[in-house]
Structure 1
Amino acid sequence: MKPIIALAMGDPAGISPELTAKLLAVDEVAAKARLVVIGDRRVLDDGAKVAAVKLDLMNVLPGANIAGDGPPVFIDLGHLDPASVARSVATAEGGRFALTNYRHALTMARNGRADAVCFTPFNKSAMRLAHPSYDDEIGFSAEIVGLDGPASEFNVLDRLWNARVTSHIALSEVASHITTGRVLRGIRLTDSSMRGAGFDRPRIAVAGLNPHAGDGGNFGREEIDAIGPAVEQGRLEGIAVEGPFPSDTVFLRAKSGTFDAVLTMYHDQGQIAMKLMGFDRGVTLLGGFPFPICTPAHGTAYEIAGKGIAGIGAARAAVLLAAEMARKQARV
């Protein structure tokens, strides 16, 4: 049986409507998963016109029985008139649209009505206009799902993963957040999340924080005082982890196949490398949740919204990764 994926439409002012429509027209996606799309049908139909795709999609009520291997369906919440959307502009209305869709998708998976959640790109400015306490998808998702344990974003490019110890914080605050406990938590979560994705014993490289991984303490002591001890503890626990390595070369080794994942210390330390290697295929995965949550690693692309040229590669990869992880978890 194909896994059911609750697909939340993202920011309506960007490329999300056309990406959602394009996903529904991909044969490989239809073969691997049953999509249950959540949003406003008028917004989706507008996106289909932009994408030049014809949709054969039935609307269902929010509480409808969607079990089984049927065709994709659309849950029409009827909460946004596309005529009111200013293209390429972040608004509170657009943020509310995306948050409502995402909340519904998370609730479906939390209640066992979907096996995984995906969403087309959000705009964080719009989300914060709609929900001032919104920090990022991790905190919002944890609140809706009721998650107590650790969670983190992973970037996935084909078979290479990037994890990080800190994420959406100011660069000036990163060093104070690099502790043995936080690094070890990142190592453990990377190992468990990758095992859930089918890796038997993922090989994890840990990047240093400072130039040349601190150069023996000449350029900082985080590698000696925090990162190194966390790596050693991870190894004692049976995790295949090594480091810390200089961050300017560790991705070369990972790309060559020496490692399956790189744990970096802050957001852009890994994001830059991953996006250079495959911007059009990268997936963001929220790890630590009881079900897969995936989205394209790129943003809302306001600069090309409405032009019909948005690439489907990353969105396609996100849905296929979510479907594969859901299948593996169902077999455990």
Structure 2
Amino acid sequence: MRIALALGDAGGVGPELAAKLLAHEEIRALDVTVVGDARVLAMGAAHAGVTLDLPVIRPDQVGAGLPAGHVLVDLANCPVEGRPLGRSGDDAGAACLQNFAAVLHLAHAGLADAAMFTPFNKHSMRLARPSYVDEIGFIDAAIGAARSGREFNVLEEVWNARVTSHIPLRAVADALSTDRILSSLRLTAEVMAGAGKPGARIGVAALNPHAGDGGNFGHEDDEILAPAVAAARAEGIDATGPIPSDTVFVRAVRGEFDAVLTMYHDQGQIAMKLMGFDRGVTLIAGYGFPIVTPAHGTAFDIAGQGRADLGATLMAARLGRDLAALNPDRAPRPLPADWARAVVAETLLVAE
């Protein structure tokens, strides 16, 4: 079992969390290919107060037969001397994009069973590449995905999937359609089954207050969401809704649902982070291998202080490991020709 781990934003707690994770007794038993700048990882280890001793290899040395245990692929892409902590920067953003592209290709090629990253900062990434929107679009472009995946927020007691993600709130209603919601329900059922939860019970959160109250507060729930739920049920998916979003998570936590499908980002994120900020995991699913990260951000306010809580990062590593173990026969794919040079040159990243 091998995890490919991309180092997160050098200005935040990502390097510290990576170092703490690699030093954790449970993770020492896993094969982990760390991708990033050796100087960033050393900085993270100093912040974390841990000692790491990883073999270091060049990108052009990556291939079949990687050494067991932990190994660092040094992209030498983010000098840390003189770089301030707690701030966005195009240098940190560019390094994160490179690191992320590399671990995606390693997992896509079968040289890792799961991909993982410590927290990125989207502002840094957009400073480096203004066309960057979110991880989904980046993954699609980087590995030439046949279909887009979806983000799931995962706690032990409930999973959260969403129909739309990183778009303005004013655009949500126009972005919804019966087909899009049905597609999200199908993928949620598929991912949950792949995670060992077949026949998952999915509560569908309404868009409007009181699920539209019969049209008094909007017609989307009756005209768009309800037909999608009915179509999903006709296909054998155990979906219920639309349910007012102020009660759907209450019902899920009480055991009525295994997952909640929400219509937009914060509709689910607020509930999930209130329930488990220090243990929540973001899972990006639908690509043939799990992609995981802690659900919290870069925490610029405590960067460099050694205070970052490992809980969600450790949970992410466990989830990636456990999901990968459910798919042991995944067929490997060849790495792109001269992939190491291409990653370092950023030619595998999303085009402007």
TM-score (norm 1): 0.96
Structure 2 match to 1:83: 81
Are the equivalent residues in 1 in contact too, given 2:176–2:224 (CA < 8 A)?
A: yes
Provide the secondary structure at the position in 2 that maps to 1:204. strand
Deviation at 1:65, TM superposition (A): 4.3
Structure 1 match to 2:28: 30
Deviation at 1:89, TM superposition (A): 1.0
Deviation at 1:66, TM superposition (A): 5.6
Are the equivalent residues in 2 in contact too, given 1:294–1:319 (CA < 8 A)?
A: yes
Of stretches 4-13 and 150-159 in structure 1, the one that deviates more from structure 2 is: 150-159
| 2: CA distance, partners of 1:112 / 1:159 | 31
Are the equivalent residues in 2 in contact too, given 1:161–1:262 (CA < 8 A)?
A: yes
Are the equivalent residues in 1 in contact too, given 2:206–2:221 (CA < 8 A)?
A: yes
Of stretches 297-306 and 75-84 in structure 1, the one that deviates more from structure 2 is: 75-84
Deviation at 1:35, TM superposition (A): 1.0
Structure 1 residues 97-246: aligned runs within 5 Å:
97-246=95-244
Are the equivalent residues in 2 in contact too, given 1:85–1:94 (CA < 8 A)?
A: no
Deviation at 1:48, TM superposition (A): 0.4
Structure 2 match to 1:284: 282
Task: Provide, for residues 144-197 of structure 1, a one-character-per-residue CA deviation record: whole Å limited to 9, x for no partner.
Answer: 111121321111012411011111111111111121011101101111111111
Relative to 1, partners in 2 of residues 1:239 and 1:69: Cα closer, same or farther, differing over 3 Å?
farther
Identity of aligned residues (%): 52
Structure 2 match to 1:258: 256
Which stretches in structure 1 are left out of the alignment for 5+ residues? none
Structure 2 match to 1:47: 44
Which stretches in structure 2 are left out of the alignment for 5+ residues? 331-352
| 2: CA distance, partners of 1:134 / 1:150 | 16
Deviation at 1:56, TM superposition (A): 2.2
Are the equivalent residues in 2 in contact too, given 1:150–1:189 (CA < 8 A)?
A: no
Deviation at 1:29, TM superposition (A): 2.2
2:36 is aligned with what amino acid?
G
| 1: CA distance, partners of 2:318 / 2:299 | 22
Structure 1 match to 2:340: none
Are the equivalent residues in 2 in contact too, given 1:15–1:310 (CA < 8 A)?
A: yes
| 1: CA distance, partners of 2:50 / 2:86 | 21
Are the equivalent residues in 1 in contact too, given 2:5–2:34 (CA < 8 A)?
A: yes
Deviation at 1:257, TM superposition (A): 1.3
| 2: CA distance, partners of 1:52 / 1:158 | 30
Are the equivalent residues in 2 in contact too, given 1:95–1:129 (CA < 8 A)?
A: yes
Relative to 1, partners in 2 of residues 1:111 and 1:171: Cα closer, same or farther, differing over 3 Å?
same
Are the equivalent residues in 2 in contact too, given 1:110–1:145 (CA < 8 A)?
A: yes
Deviation at 1:81, TM superposition (A): 1.5
* Cα RMSD, aligned residues only: 1.3
| 2: CA distance, partners of 1:197 / 1:56 | 33
| 2: CA distance, partners of 1:182 / 1:84 | 47
Task: Provide, for residues 210-235 of structure 1, a one-character-per-residue CA deviation record: whole Å limited to 9, x for no partner.
Answer: 00111122211111101000001101
Number of equivalenced pairs: 329
Provide the secondary structure at the position in 2 that maps to 1:329. coil
2:41 is aligned with what amino acid?
L
| 2: CA distance, partners of 1:173 / 1:315 | 32
Of stretches 63-72 and 14-23 in structure 1, the one that deviates more from structure 2 is: 63-72
TM-score (norm 2): 0.91
Of stretches 83-92 and 93-102 in structure 1, the one that deviates more from structure 2 is: 83-92
